[in-house]
Amino acid sequence: MPQPPHSSLQVAAVPAQRVPGRDRDQDGPWHTEAVCRRDEAGLFFAPSKEPTAARLSREDAAKRVCARCPVMVECREHALLQPEPYGVWGGLTAAERRVVLARRRRRDLELKKAARATGRIAAAG
C-alpha cells in the first residue's frame, strides 16, 4: 500500500486525528506521487517547542521540496478543503493557508453581494 505524504518521523507533534493520510479513503491518487512520502528529515511538521528561527528554516526547506512536487496543486487544495491545521502542505504553512482561506471567504462574500445587487438591478430594470 502506498505511503501517504508526510510520513514524518515527527508526527508525534501532530494530533493523531490530523495525521496526513489517516483518512486515506478520502485522499486522491495524488498521494502516490507526493515527493514527501518519506519525510525522513522531518521537514513538514514542527517538533514540540521548536524555536522560531528553526521553524522558519525548516518550513523553507519543506517549501523547496513542495516546489518540485508534481502534485502540489492537488495537495494544496486538499489542505485548504479539509482544512489541515498543521504542517506544510502544497508549499504553504498553516498560517499561509489561513490567509488564503480568509481571502477566499472575502471573495465569495463579494461575489454574493455582487450577484444580489445584479439581481436587484435586473428586477428593477
Question: Which residues make up the interface to ligand SF4 (CB under 6 A)?
Answer: 5, 34-36, 44, 65-66, 69, 71-72, 75, 88-91
Q: How far is the CB of 125 from ligand SF4 (least distance, A)?
A: 48
Three-state DSSP at 89 gives strand
Closer by beta carbon to ligand SF4, 29 or else 125: 29
What CA–CA distances, in Å, run from 100 to 7, 30, 46, 56, 77?
25, 21, 21, 19, 11
Q: How far is the CB of 31 from ligand SF4 (least distance, A)?
A: 7
Q: How far is the CB of 32 from ligand SF4 (least distance, A)?
A: 10
Closer by beta carbon to ligand SF4, 14 or else 88: 88
Using only C-alpha atoms, the chain has a radius of gyration, in whole angstroms, of 18
In 3D, which of 15, 5, 29, 23 has the Cα closest to residue 82? Answer: 23
In 3D, which of 88, 95, 89, 98 has the Cα closest to residue 27? Answer: 89
Closer by beta carbon to ligand SF4, 66 or else 112: 66
Q: How far is the CB of 88 from ligand SF4 (least distance, A)?
A: 6
